[in-house]
Chain A
Amino acid sequence: MKFEDQRTTVYKVDPEHPESPTLPTLRTEELLLNMGPQHPSTHGVLKVVLELEGERLVKSTPVMGFLHRGVEKLAEDGTYHQFIPHTDRLDYVCAMYNNFAYCRAVEKLMSITVPERAEYLRTIVAEVQRIIGHQFWLGTQALDIGAMTVFFYTFRDREILLDWFDELCGARLTTSWYRIGGVERDFTPSLLSKLRAFLDYFPPKIDEYVVFLEKNRIWLARTKGVAVISAEDAVNFGLSGPTLRGSGVDYDLRKYEPYAAYPKCEFSVPVGKNGDTYDRYWIRVQEMYESVKIIRQCLDQMPAEGPVMAQVPSVTLPPKERVFTNLESMIQQFKLFSQGFDAPPGEIYCGTEAHKGELGFYIVSTGGGKPYRLKIRAPSFIHMGAFDFMSRGYMIADAVTIFGTYDIVMGECDR
C-alpha cells in the first residue's frame, strides 16, 4: 500500500536487516503554534508565537499590546496628582508599589523631603505589598506548573492583607494611598494591631508553602534548570528584581540607592546561584521572610507621632479634615487638582525596587502643572524582551514556567 499523505510516517523494512525497521522517510517540519492571547498562564492577554521542532521551542515571538491603554499619553494630559490612580492600573496586582515609585519620582522632581513617620508608613505598606505580590506569584506559578494546593494557602493569607488594605484606604487592589509628599492617612490603632498579629501569624505559613513545594517532584522537575540565564546575559538584557538576582547579581535598589526607611532597617538581599526558575522561587520565598523582618523593624523604630505629609503648600495636599472646615485649605486642594503645581523645567529618572524588579519613572518637565513626557520603565516589559532568549531549547510546556518566572503582569507590560 502506498501512502500519498506525507504526514503519515511510512515505515519501510530495510532489506539487509529485515528484523529492525528504520525510519528513512520520517518527515519533520517546524510547527508554528499560537499561544494566547487568551491562555490562563499568560496572566492577562499576551500572545506568543512559538516555533516548534517537535516539542522543543526554536524561537518565540511575543506579540504584546492587547492591554495597551496609552497611559503615557494620558499622563501628559493630567496634573501630577491626577496620574496617581493611573499607576494603580499598571501592575494591578501590586498597586501600592506603583504609587510609591511614581510619588518618589515626582518628589525627586520637586525635591520634596517626606516626613519621617510617613517614610516609615510608606516602607511598611510597600513591604506588605511585596508580600502580597510574592504570595500571588507563588500561588499562580505553582498552579500553572501543576501544583494546585499551594495556591489556596497563599490566597488565603493574601486575603488577610487585602482586607488590611481595605481598612487602610478603602480599596483592596486599586489603592492610591500614596500621595506626593507623603501618604493619604495615618495608620489607626486597629491597623497596627492587625499588622502585628499578621507578622506573628505569617512566618510559619511561609514554611507551610515551602513544604508543599520543596519535596514536590513535579515542582522540582519543572523549575530546576528551567529558564536559565547567566549573570552576564541577565545584566545585558536589563533584567531586574528576583529575575536578575536569581542569576547571582546582587542588584537591589533598596540597598544600592537606599530610599524611604530602608537604610534604617537591617535586611539581607537573597541572591541565587544557578539563574534558574527554582532559584528565583527561592529568592521570592526568602524575600517574604525579609519583608516581615523589615516591617517589624519599622513598627519598632517608627516615631509614635508626627505628620504624614510634607508641608509644602504649593505642592502637597492639605489634610482632608481641614479641607472641609477651612477655606484656604479648600482652595489649596482645588487649585492643586485643577491646575496642578508648577514643576521646574528639567528631567529626572527615579527607579524603585518593586517586587517584580526596577520600576522607574522618567519625567520630563517644561514647567507648568502637567508632565511634558512621562516614561514608565516597566520590569515586565523588559523581561519579555528576554523571553525568546531564555526559552530557546526548552519544552513547550516550559513556556508557561518562563512567563511565570518573570512574574509577568500585562497591565504593566502593555501600559
Chain B
Amino acid sequence: MHPLAERIQAEFPEGFVKAVEWRGDLAVTVARTALHDVALFLHNDPAMDFDYIVHVSSVDWPDDEERFEVVWEFYSIRKRHRIRLKTRTPEADCVVDSLTDIWQGADFMEREVYDMMGIRFRNHPDLRRILMPDDYEEGYPLRKDFPLRGKGWRDTFEFLDEGKG
C-alpha cells in the first residue's frame, strides 16, 4: 500500500475504509464520520501537508446502498504529492461534513456539488445553488435518475396560438 495511505490507516484505524492506487493516482476512502478529522490531519500534519485543494466532486451510484460518493482532491505544493479523499453517503441521510473551515476554496466547489447532486454539507457557511437558478425545483441534474433531456417542463408551456394549427 502507498505510504500515505498506510499513515492514514495507522492514524485512523476505524475511519479508514480502503485505499486504491491506479494509474499513479492514490484514492483513499474513509468513513463519513471520520472525514473531517482525516481532512484536518491531511492539512496539518507536516508529512502530509496538503495545503492546496484541487477539486470537489461527486459520483452517483444508484444501485449501491450508500448511493453517493463525494470526492475531494488535494495537492501539496511543498511535498508535491497528490491524494484523492473519498467518502460515501446514503441517499436517506445525504449529509457530509464541509471542509470549508480547512480549505476556503471548498466553499464554491461544495456548493456546486450540492447544486448538481443534492449532497448537503454540514457547517457550510452558504449552502445555496450556484449554477442552477435559486428557484430550480426539478431536482439535481447530475444524478443518474435525472434524464438528459431534462424533466420536460418545456412541454408544459402554454402557447398563444395553440389549437390553431
Contacts of B116 in A (CB 8 A): 72
Contacts of B53 in A (CB 8 A): 236-238
Q: Is residue A172 contacting chain B, with contact meaning CB distance below 8 A? A: no
- Residue ID in chain A nearest B148 by CB atoms: A77
Which of B34-42, B90-98, B126-134 is near enough to bind chain A?
A: B126-134
Please indicate which of the listed interface residues B23, B51, B108, B133 has the most CB atoms of chain A within 10 Å of its own CB: B108
Which of B2-10, B99-107, B153-161 is near enough to bind chain A?
A: B99-107
Question: B132 contacts which of A68, A237, A346, A381 (Cβ < 8 Å)?
Answer: A68
Contacts of A385 in B (CB 8 A): 104-105, 107-109
Contacts of A256 in B (CB 8 A): 80
Contact status B131-A65, CB under 8 Å:
yes
Please indicate which of the listed interface residues B105, B132, B141, B142 has the most CB atoms of chain A within 10 Å of its own CB: B105
B29-59 residues at the A interface, CB under 8 angstroms: 51-55, 57, 59
Which of A83-91, A274-282, A370-378 is near enough to bind chain B?
A: A370-378
Question: B51 contacts which of A108, A236, A375, A382 (Cβ < 8 Å)?
Answer: A236
Q: Is residue B66 contacting chain A, with contact meaning CB distance below 8 A? A: no
A325-362 residues at the B interface, CB under 8 angstroms: 346-349, 351, 358, 360, 362
Contact status B104-A346, CB under 8 Å:
no
Q: Is residue A70 contacting chain B, with contact meaning CB distance below 8 A? A: yes
Contact status A375-B55, CB under 8 Å:
yes
Q: Is residue B77 contacting chain A, with contact meaning CB distance below 8 A? A: yes
Q: Is residue A50 contacting chain B, with contact meaning CB distance below 8 A? A: no
Q: Is residue A298 contacting chain B, with contact meaning CB distance below 8 A? A: no
Contact status A364-B59, CB under 8 Å:
yes
Contact status B133-A65, CB under 8 Å:
yes
Contact status B131-A238, CB under 8 Å:
no
Question: B109 contacts which of A72, A249, A348, A382 (Cβ < 8 Å)?
Answer: A382
| Interface size range on A against B | 35 or more
Contact status A362-B77, CB under 8 Å:
no
Bitwise interface map of A from 236 to 280 toward B, beta carbon under 8 Å scored 1, else 0: 111100000000010100001000000000000000000000000
Contacts of A415 in B (CB 8 A): 131
Contacts of B11 in A (CB 8 A): none
Contacts of A386 in B (CB 8 A): 104-105
Contact status B108-A382, CB under 8 Å:
yes
Contact status A348-B23, CB under 8 Å:
yes
| Interface size range on B against A | 35 or more
Q: Is residue A109 contacting chain B, with contact meaning CB distance below 8 A? A: yes
Q: A65-B131, A72-B116, A358-B54 are in contact. Are A238 and B103 (CB under 8 A)?
A: yes
Question: B23 contacts which of A111, A249, A377 (Cβ < 8 Å)?
Answer: A111
Contact status A349-B54, CB under 8 Å:
yes
Q: A108-B23, A249-B77 are in contact. Are A237 and B148 (CB under 8 A)?
A: no
A251–B80 Cα gap in the complex (Å)? 10
Q: Is residue A125 contacting chain B, with contact meaning CB distance below 8 A? A: no
Please indicate which of the listed interface residues A76, A349, A414 has the most CB atoms of chain B within 10 Å of its own CB: A349
Contacts of B146 in A (CB 8 A): 73
Q: Is residue A64 contacting chain B, with contact meaning CB distance below 8 A? A: yes
Question: A73 contacts which of B27, B71, B73, B148 (Cβ < 8 Å)?
Answer: B148
Question: A238 contacts which of B23, B54, B132 (Cβ < 8 Å)?
Answer: B54
Contact status B22-A238, CB under 8 Å:
no
Contact status B54-A360, CB under 8 Å:
yes
Contacts of A364 in B (CB 8 A): 59
CB distance from B109 to the nearest CB of A (A): 7
A377–B105 Cα gap in the complex (Å)? 12
CB distance from B40 to the nearest CB of A (A): 14
A interface residues (Cβ-Cβ under 8 A, vs B):
64-65, 68, 70, 72-74, 76-77, 108-109, 111, 233, 235-239, 249, 251, 256, 346-349, 351, 358, 360, 362, 364, 372-373, 375, 377, 381-382, 384-386, 389, 414-415
A-B contact pairs, 7 of them (CB 8 A): A237-B103, A238-B109, A349-B25, A362-B55, A362-B57, A373-B57, A382-B105
Known contacts A238-B55, A377-B54, A386-B104; can you find 19 more A-B pairs with CB under 8 A?
Answer: A64-B130, A65-B132, A108-B23, A235-B77, A236-B104, A236-B105, A237-B104, A238-B52, A238-B54, A238-B103, A346-B23, A347-B25, A349-B25, A360-B55, A362-B71, A364-B59, A373-B57, A384-B108, A385-B108
Which 3 residue pairs are nearest across A and B when measured between Cβ atoms?
A: A238-B105, A385-B108, A65-B131
B interface residues (Cβ-Cβ under 8 A, vs A):
22-23, 25, 27, 51-55, 57, 59-60, 71, 73, 77, 80, 82, 84, 103-105, 107-109, 112, 116, 129-133, 141-142, 146, 148
